[in-house]
């Protein structure tokens, strides 16, 4: 046998070659997209010229001229548009973050409830999921809003609880401490407490792994948090001024309040998303082999310990990715607040759009903010997922 020299590979430039066709297809696809973008941009520019629409983001510096019902930062109608958008973003984040926390807690409880030994609990959790999942989230919001508006007492009929909490058509008012140096230092102390208790938890874990003796984590952490906050408060001169709501002529003044719009958006989103999270948790727990809980029962762990120490950590791997999706869905669904007038980002952009007529800019702002939050959240959750995933050697 003689070794034959391999002939040098010839480039085949015919259309029969898969590679050539691939390049051709891609060029065509890119060309079509470039053409479409050019067509749309050309039309848009022409339309703007014809209709005399101004463009650009310079309007952000002009005074907005509209009031916003609730805001986390001081705002009035003389403030520029960018500040109005900022208020909207903060309101969106506020309702989303609180909603995510509540929905996760409730959803996890309901998901675990599907495995209860009690048939009534099982049935109730199942019924909840089926009923709340199969109704549009917009309907949830509208119904909660309607119920709240008709249930809350009108002007002159405000109801108070201990003279500190008030129910009125403005929502639920509650006393808040007057913000000052003491409060700021208390918050800083609380943060220090968080860091310290995290360090303690790490140390406790290391000691446990070294010696096998469990150390208390929960109580020392709570004590550290409390001590931090208390130290900050005392350092700031221990201020005790509270802003207590009072019934005024037309509305309840002072203190802070949860508006009916906020409560409706929050409840609607939480009750809707809870049903999805319950399903995610149920699927996650079902994915853990039965032998795991049987083995831990054989070791003498209680039912709660089995769930907390053995089943849930393994279920987390399955749960985290779809749970991330639900968090993102909740954030995106909070945009429906526009339907009931909660001043979230979309509803403020909508107002700004109607006032200035700059559709492209306003809608781009909405999309940019949501894209950033979505990508940011998935980044964080991916990091956590990596932490929880099976560590393969």
Q: Which residues bind other proteins (CB under 8 A)?
A: 22, 25-26, 29-30, 33, 40, 43-44, 46-48, 50, 53, 116-121, 124, 130-131, 133-139, 142-143, 146-147, 150, 332-333, 335-336, 338-339, 346, 350, 353, 359-360, 363, 366-367, 370-371, 374-375
Instruction: Return the HEC string of the chain.
Output: CCCCCCCCCCCCCCCCCHHHHHHHHHHHHHHHHHHHHHHHHHHHHHHHHHHCCCCCCHHHHCECCCCCCCCCCCCCCCCEHHHHHHHHHHHHHHHHHHHHHHHHHHHHHHHHHCCCCCHHHHHHHHHHHHHHHCCCHHHHHHHHHHHHHHHCCCCCCCEEECCCEEEECCEEEECEECCCHHHHHHHHHHHHHHHHHHHHHHHHHHHHHHHCCCCCCHHHHHHHHHHHHHHHHHHCCCCCCEECCEECCCCEECCEEECHHHHHHHHHHHHHHHHHHHHHHHHHHHCCCHHHHHHHHHCCCCHHHHHHHHHHHHHHHHHHHHHHHHHHHHHHHHHHHHHCCCCCHHHHHHHHHHHHCCHHHHHHHHHHHHHHHHHHHHHHHHHHHHHHCCCCC
Residue number with CB closer to other proteins (17 or 43)? 43
Residue number with CB closer to other proteins (233 or 370)? 370
CB of 47 to other proteins, least distance (A): 5
CB of 247 to other proteins, least distance (A): 25
CB of 346 to other proteins, least distance (A): 6
Residue number with CB closer to other proteins (45 or 184)? 45
CB of 26 to other proteins, least distance (A): 4
CB of 41 to other proteins, least distance (A): 9
CA distance 200 to 219: 11
Cα-Cα-Cα-Cα torsion 37, 39, 43, 46, nearest 10 degrees, comes to 100
CB of 370 to other proteins, least distance (A): 5
CB of 232 to other proteins, least distance (A): 39
φ/ψ region of 10 (left if φ > 0, alpha if ψ in -120 to 50, else beta) reads: beta
Residue number with CB closer to other proteins (100 or 185)? 100
CA distance 279 to 325: 13
Residue number with CB closer to other proteins (80 or 357)? 357
Residue number with CB closer to other proteins (17 or 47)? 47
| Residues in contact with 79: Cβ distance below 8 Å, sequence separation at least 6, in sequence order | 63, 64
Residue number with CB closer to other proteins (32 or 181)? 32
Residue number with CB closer to other proteins (252 or 328)? 328
Radius of gyration (C-alpha) of the chain in whole angstroms: 29
CB of 360 to other proteins, least distance (A): 6
CB of 151 to other proteins, least distance (A): 10
Residue number with CB closer to other proteins (121 or 230)? 121
CB of 140 to other proteins, least distance (A): 9
Closest among 380, 151, 140 to 276, alpha carbons compared: 140
CA distance 327 to 103: 9
Residue number with CB closer to other proteins (265 or 366)? 366
């Amino acid at each position: 046998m003689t070794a034959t020299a391999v002939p040098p590979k010839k480039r085949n430039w015919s259309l029969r070659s898969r590679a050539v066709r691939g390049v051709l297809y891609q060029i065509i696809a890119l060309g079509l997209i470039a053409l479409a973008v050019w067509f749309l941009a050309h039309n848009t520019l022409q339309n703007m010229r014809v209709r005399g629409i101004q463009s650009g983001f310079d309007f952000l510096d002009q005074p907005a001229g509209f009031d916003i019902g609730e805001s986390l930062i001081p705002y009035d109608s003389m403030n520029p548009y960018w500040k109005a958008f900022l208020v909207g973003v903060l309101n969106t984040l506020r309702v989303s973050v609180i909603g995510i926390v509540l929905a996760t807690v409730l959803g996890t409880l309901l998901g675990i409830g599907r495995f209860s030994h009690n048939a009534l609990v099982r049935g109730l959790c199942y019924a909840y999921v089926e009923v709340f999942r199969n109704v549009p989230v917009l309907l949830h919001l509208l119904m909660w809003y309607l119920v709240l508006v008709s249930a809350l007492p009108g002007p002159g009929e405000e109801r108070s609880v201990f003279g500190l909490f008030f129910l009125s058509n403005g929502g639920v008012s509650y006393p808040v401490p007057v913000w000052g140096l003491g409060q700021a230092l208390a918050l800083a102390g609380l943060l220090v407490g968080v860091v310290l208790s995290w360090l303690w938890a790490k140390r406790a874990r290391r000691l446990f792994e070294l010696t096998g003796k469990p150390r208390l984590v929960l109580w020392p952490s709570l004590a550290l948090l409390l001590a931090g906050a208390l130290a900050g408060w005392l350092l700031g001169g221990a201020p005790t001024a509270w802003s207590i709501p009072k019934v005024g002529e037309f509305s309840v003044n002072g203190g802070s309040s949860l508006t009916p719009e906020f409560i409706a958006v929050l409840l609607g989103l939480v009750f809707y998303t809870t049903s999805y999270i319950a399903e995610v948790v149920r699927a996650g727990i079902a994915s853990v082999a039965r032998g795991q809980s049987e083995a831990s029962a054989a070791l003498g762990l209680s039912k709660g310990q089995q769930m907390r120490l053995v089943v849930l950590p393994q279920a987390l791997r399955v749960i985290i990715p779809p749970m991330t999706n639900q968090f993102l869905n909740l954030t995106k669904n909070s945009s429906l607040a526009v339907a009931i007038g909660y001043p979230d980002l979309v509803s403020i952009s909508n107002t700004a759009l109607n006032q200035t007529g700059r559709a492209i800019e306003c809608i781009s702002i909405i999309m940019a903010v949501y894209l950033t939050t979505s990508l940011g959240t998935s980044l964080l959750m991916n990091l956590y997922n990596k932490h929880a995933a099976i560590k393969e050697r």
